[in-house]
């Protein structure tokens, strides 16, 4: 399942290319959780399509592997990924029904729901939450009550609980997410965001790093975007070759 998670998460990886990255500025300060949540909502991305190119680095133990990646997203519908290392490596599709991908080196494929991610990380994530993780948006909605708010150096932090799931989110002074942490017993998932780029008034994180810990194993994926376009026409072809072996 760890290998399935890695391939599925690679499907979520992107790079974006050379545009100026002006530093966001804001003179507004949040003094409580309600103020902070309202300010966060004003800068949430609203694009309909996102087309990104770059690379993802996969870390396992003392080894790492860098893969060139293209990702195309239709909001609330589909995430499409194409990966290559000089030659094509594979292609993936994530939609509201689950995850599908195939890899051309071993000629294998996977088709299934999101249970592979849940088995590996201990978190049941639906399509919207996976897409939000790429947007730099909270995976879980922040409740209006029982939220712990604090001002920290250069930003803010919100903490809350949903049953046994503990949530911690850190935002900078411009109300952009820089980290979200999910903890469930001995399992944890932390996602870091940095290098935001403005496109048509919307801010996109150009670096995303996932760190997962489950059953004593640690996984890390680091995405570096070098080119991105929003609200353009995109193609998302996907067809698993009939000769490939199911994982």
CB 136 within 8 A of CB 45: yes
> Where would I find the H helices in 43-137?
115-121, 127-135
Q: What is the mean pLDDT of residues 128-142?
A: 93
Burial of 196 per CB tally in 10 Å (0-12, 13-18, 19+) = buried
CA dist 202 → 53, 127, 222 (Å): 18, 22, 22
Which range has the worst mean pLDDT, 1-10, 96-105, 204-213, 229-238?
Answer: 1-10
Q: What is the pLDDT of residue 116?
A: 67
pTM (two decimals): 0.86
pLDDT single digits (tens) 208-243? 999 888 777 788 889 999 999 999 999 999 999 999
Count of structural domains, the chain: 1
The set of residues, in sequence order, having a beta carbon less than 8 Å from that of 117 and lying 6+ positions away, is 5, 8, 9, 99, 123, 125, 130
Domain span holding position 198: 2-246
User: Is 24:174 a contact under the CB 8 Å cutoff?
Assistant: yes
Only one residue has tokens 């944890």, namely 188
Predicted confidence at residue 26, as pLDDT, reads 59
CATH number at residue 212: 2.50.20.10
Model pLDDT, residue 12:
41
């Amino acid at each position: 399942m760890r290998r399935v998670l890695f391939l599925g998460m690679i499907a979520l990886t992107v790079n974006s290319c050379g545009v100026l990255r002006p530093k966001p500025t804001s003179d507004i300060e949040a003094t409580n959780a309600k103020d902070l949540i309202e300010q966060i909502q004003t800068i949430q991305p609203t694009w309909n399509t996102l087309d990104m190119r770059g690379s993802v680095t996969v870390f396992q133990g003392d080894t790492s592997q860098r893969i060139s990646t293209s990702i195309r997203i239709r909001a609330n519908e589909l995430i499409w990924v194409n990966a290559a290392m000089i030659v094509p490596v594979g292609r993936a599709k994530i939609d509201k029904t689950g995850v599908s991908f195939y890899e051309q080196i071993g000629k294998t494929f996977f088709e299934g729901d999101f249970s592979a991610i849940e088995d590996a990380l201990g978190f049941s994530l639906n399509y919207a939450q996976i897409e939000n993780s790429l947007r730099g948006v909270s995976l879980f909605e922040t409740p209006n009550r029982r939220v712990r708010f604090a001002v920290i150096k250069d930003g803010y932090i919100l903490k809350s609980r949903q049953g046994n799931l503990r949530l911690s989110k850190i935002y900078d002074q411009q109300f952009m997410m820089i980290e979200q942490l999910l903890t469930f017993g001995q399992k944890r998932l932390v996602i870091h965001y940095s290098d935001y780029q403005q496109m048509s008034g919307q801010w996109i994180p150009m670096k995303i790093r996932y760190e997962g810990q489950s059953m004593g194993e640690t996984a890390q994926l680091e995405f570096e975007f070098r080119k991105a376009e929003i609200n353009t026409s995109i193609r998302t072809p996907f067809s698993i070759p009939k000769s490939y072996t199911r994982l």
